[in-house]
Amino acid sequence: MPSEMERCIESLIAVLQKYSRKDGNSSQLSKAEFLSFMNTELAAFTKNKKDPSVLDCMMKKLDLNCDGQLDFQDFLNLIGGLATACHDSFLRTSQKRI
Ligand SMILES: [Ca+2]
């Protein structure tokens, strides 16, 4: 039986692959795949962003080697940043309760 952490890692890989296989390089997200991923998997985040250029900016910032594709490390940087923001928000909420 995989541990909870091992299942989380498997999930990260599975989600990336689900979107990265749609076109071009099957292990990297093109811009279209990135938009599909964000609008499906992180819809709660994207629907608050009324300016569509926010996702363009995110893609450019994440694409460190500027090849128009997001590899697994770029993807982890995105998830890490969002997870950090969620964690900070969780800490702020729990501190208010004390
Ligand atoms: Ca791809």
Give the domains, in start order, of the chain with CATH numbers.
4-97 (1.10.238.10)
pLDDT of residue 44: 87
What is the rounded distance in angstroms from the CA atom of residue 3 to the CA atom of residue 33?
29
User: In angstroms, what is the span from residue 44 Cα to ligand 1's centroid?
Assistant: 23
pLDDT of residue 14: 97
User: Which residues of the chain register pLDDT less than 70?
Assistant: 97-98
What is the rounded distance in angstroms from the CA atom of residue 91 to the CA atom of residue 25?
38
pLDDT of residue 98: 60
SS3 call for 67: coil
Question: pLDDT of 34-60, one tens digit each?
Answer: 999 999 999 988 887 778 789 999 999
SS3 call for 29: strand
User: In angstroms, what is the span from residue 92 Cα to ligand 1's centroid?
Assistant: 37
pLDDT of residue 92: 94
- Residue 32 near residue 22 (C-beta atoms within 8 A): yes
What is the rounded distance in angstroms from the CA atom of residue 25 to the CA atom of residue 38?
18
DSSP state of 42: T
Instruction: Report residues near ion ligand 1: CB below 5 Å.
Output: 20, 24-25
pLDDT of residue 95: 84
